[in-house]
């Protein structure tokens, strides 16, 4: 099984209360692809500039990512700068230098056009539609987006929402897209537009998956070490869709499992700057983390007040 991701490949300058990193390997397609690579073969479509370090390319290849769709264009790589305070759920974007990403026009290589699962990371909805036009009826198409597109291109966004089965966004985005402050009602509105599943990521507060069988919620794992949450949402998506692509299981049980693997990959992402931790995991560590989520959340109902 293969999973295609189309999105940003970046150099990030990140500052958190625990340190700073310049020119670090980042971008939505990178975090997503590395997280998913533990579960399935991953194909990347994106663009970098001539300044993109070879060591970053080597790292991606070492994780088994197929980079045939990653163009190296003349110019500079997309660069993003962000700063976090002690509330790691809130960050300031210091700058977004699109550079070669400004002219990104995704061309899906012929050998990628039949990929079974497609993830449209956070890019212009018009480009997400262009990707969908180039792939042959994938089993699942999924997307992420951000406030910039929700506010500037709502019509395109509605169109692409009608063509994907899975949406993975954060709680603010869910409320903003639906124009509805109540999360459950907002989810119902978005699911009414076509997608079968909506996964709402809530940073350190976990995630909720809404689907035809109701909602499944998982809390955030209280981590010992949190260094940098950049990319955690994309790593979540990589674990979630990697699990679904690997098992093909979208039953209620399968979705719960995918939500936990997604949460596990998101949690690892926060434990270091860039992809340092995410890219160097042993499969047993991922399974251990899955068990930690189970231990954190498992409980039985033994009625105390009245026998029901």
- CA angle centred on 273, ends 26 and 17, rounded to 5°: 125
C-alpha 30/C-alpha 59 separation (Å) is 10
Q: Which residues pair with 41 in a beta bridge?
A: 2
Residue of 230, 266, 237, 244 whose CA lies nearest to 5: 237
In whole angstroms, the minimum distance from the beta carbon of 93 to ligand AMP comes to 7
Q: Which of 37, 99, 115, 122 binds ligand AMP (CB under 6 A)?
A: 122
Please tell me which residue in 234, 249, 295, 307 is annotated as part of the active site: 234
- 226 interacts with ligand AMP by CB under 6 A: no
Q: Which of 115, 142, 145, 230 binds ligand AMP (CB under 6 A)?
A: 230
- 233 interacts with ligand AMP by CB under 6 A: yes
Closer CB to ligand AMP, 220 or 250, in the complex = 220
In whole angstroms, the minimum distance from the beta carbon of 237 to ligand AMP comes to 8
Q: Are 62 and 53 in contact (CB under 8 A)?
A: no
Name the segment binding ligand AMP (CB under 6 A); options: 69-77, 134-142, 225-233, 249-257: 225-233
Interface positions, 51-90, toward ligand AMP (CB under 6 A): 80
Closer CB to ligand AMP, 120 or 218, in the complex = 120
Which residue of the chain is nearest ligand AMP when measured via CB? 26
Name the segment binding ligand AMP (CB under 6 A); options: 108-116, 174-182, 186-194, 231-239: 231-239
Burial 259-280 (b: 16+ CB within 10 A, else e): bbbbbbbbbbbbbbbbbbbbbe
In whole angstroms, the minimum distance from the beta carbon of 137 to ligand AMP comes to 26
The answer to whether 234 is a known catalytic residue is: yes
- 28 interacts with ligand AMP by CB under 6 A: yes
Binding footprint of ligand AMP, residue count (CB under 6 A): 14
C-alpha 98/C-alpha 90 separation (Å) is 22
Handedness of CA 207, 163, 244, 105 (dihedral sign): negative
In whole angstroms, the minimum distance from the beta carbon of 204 to ligand AMP comes to 13
Q: Which of 12, 173, 176, 204 binds ligand AMP (CB under 6 A)?
A: 12
Q: Which of 5, 6, 26, 279 binds ligand AMP (CB under 6 A)?
A: 26
* Region class of 203: left (phi > 0), else alpha (psi between -120 and 50), else beta: left
C-alpha 278/C-alpha 290 separation (Å) is 15
State the DSSP string of 209-262: EEETTEEEEEPPP--S-----TTHHHHHHHHHHHHHHHH---SHHHHHHHHHHH
In whole angstroms, the minimum distance from the beta carbon of 306 to ligand AMP comes to 45
Closer CB to ligand AMP, 172 or 193, in the complex = 172
- 96 interacts with ligand AMP by CB under 6 A: yes
Residue 301's Cβ-side half-sphere holds a number of Cα atoms within 13 Å equal to 5
Q: What is the largest CA-CA distance in the chain?
A: 71
- 13 interacts with ligand AMP by CB under 6 A: no
- 8 interacts with ligand AMP by CB under 6 A: yes
* Region class of 127: left (phi > 0), else alpha (psi between -120 and 50), else beta: alpha
- The residues of the shown chain that bind ligand AMP, judged by CB under 6 A, are 8, 10, 12, 26-28, 80, 96, 122, 230-234
Catalytic residues, by residue number, are 234
């Amino acid at each position: 099984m293969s999973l295609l991701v189309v999105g940003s490949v970046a150099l990030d300058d990140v500052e958190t209360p625990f340190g700073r990193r310049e020119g670090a390997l980042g971008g939505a397609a990178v975090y997503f692809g590395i997280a998913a690579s533990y579960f399935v073969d991953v194909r990347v479509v994106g663009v970098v500039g001539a300044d993109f370090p070879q060591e970053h390319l080597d790292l991606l290849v070492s994780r088994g990512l197929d980079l045939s769709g990653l163009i190296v264009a003349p110019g500079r790589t997309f660069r993003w700068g962000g700063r976090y305070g002690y509330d790691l759920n809130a960050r300031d974007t210091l700058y977004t230098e699109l550079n070669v990403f400004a002219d990104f026009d995704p061309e899906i290589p012929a050998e990628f056009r039949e990929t079974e699962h497609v993830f449209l990371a956070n890019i212009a909805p018009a480009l997400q539609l262009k990707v969908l036009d180039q792939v042959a009826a994938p089993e699942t198409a999924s997307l992420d987006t951000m406030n910039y597109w929700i506010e500037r291109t709502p019509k395109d966004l509605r169109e692409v929402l009608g063509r994907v089965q899975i949406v993975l966004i954060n709680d603010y985005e869910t409320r903003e897209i639906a124009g509805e402050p109540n999360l459950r009602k907002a989810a119902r509105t978005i699911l009414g537009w076509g997608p079968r599943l909506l996964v709402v990521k809530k940073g350190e507060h976990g995630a909720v998956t809404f689907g035809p069988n109701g909602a499944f919620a998982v809390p955030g794992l209280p981590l010992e070490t949190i260094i940098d949450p950049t990319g955690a949402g994309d790593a979540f998506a990589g674990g979630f869709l990697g699990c679904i692509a690997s098992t093909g299981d979208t039953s209620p049980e399968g979705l719960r499992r995918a939500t936990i693997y997604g949460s596990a990959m998101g949690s690892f992402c926060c434990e270091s700057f860039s992809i340092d931790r995410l890219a160097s995991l042993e499969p047993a560590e991922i399974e251990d983390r899955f068990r930690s989520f189970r231990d954190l959340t498992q409980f039985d109902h033994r009625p105390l007040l009245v026998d029901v």
